[in-house]
Amino acid sequence: MSKGHGILDTIFDQLSPVHPDGHKFIAIAAAVTLLFFFLYPPLGWVCAGVTAWVVYFFRDPQRVTPLRPGLVVSGADGRISGIEKVVPPAEMGMGSEPRVRISTFLSVFDVHINRAPVAGRIVRSVYIPGTFVNAALDKASEDNERRLIVIETPTDGEVGVVQIAGLVARRIVTFVETGDTVGVGQRFGLIRFGSRVDVYLPPGKTALVSVGQRAIAGETVFADLQSVEPEREARRA
């Protein structure tokens, strides 16, 4: 190993900073842990494990985002649970023409910081209250609490992204508003404790990923809006 990068450097490279939104939850978990260590140490150790998980949940690692025009990147970490051609929700104002929707399911162990799939201007941002069924279910896109965002790109039309709360998730956080300009891969929100993120491509555009594939927010390329490459086929191995 080179002198410029030792074992400690390798260890620290694996650590991620914690997003500020998680500080209060970590503080609460730590306070409860200290209380139970004082009252009943065995339960204190359990709480210590929960506190460590809360720190892990709110991690916010850096990402390397491809910047070539036309690329659509994943808005979330997780497993791609569905790729379907559907009519976007009416609240998004994206018309009645079917579009490819790529759904990414986030477990409680995935990074929950959401990133913009494309660069552009946010032309619509709509919050819809709802239920909290399992986010992996198809009906979650219509029944669950969600935030719908439409990003208008400079040259490739509109791309929609929907944050959907899940069975455990109870809070959708969005850092941007209508009229804001975002860069591709920019952090735009998070969903606390399990969820799903849907990305709607412009009409006629196809996905370059497959169901079951792991996605990394800000890095995994979902589509190329300036290419005529057909939808990719894949197999499990």
Active site residues: 195
Please state the φ and ψ torsions of residue 17, each to the nearest 5 degrees: -65, 160
Angle formed by the axes of helices 41-57 and 23-39, nearest 10° = 170
Three-state SS string across the chain, please?
CCCCCCHHHHHHHCCCCECHHHHHHHHHHHHHHHHHHHHCHHHHHHHHHHHHHHHHHCECCCCCCCCCCCEEECCCCEEEEEEEEECCCHHHCCCCCCEEEEEEEECCCCCCEEECCCCEEEEEEEEECCECCCCCCCCHHHHECEEEEEEECCCCCEEEEEEEECCCCCCEEECCCCCCEECCCCEEEEECCCEEEEEECCCCCCCCCCCCCEECCCCCEEEECCCCCCCCCCCCC
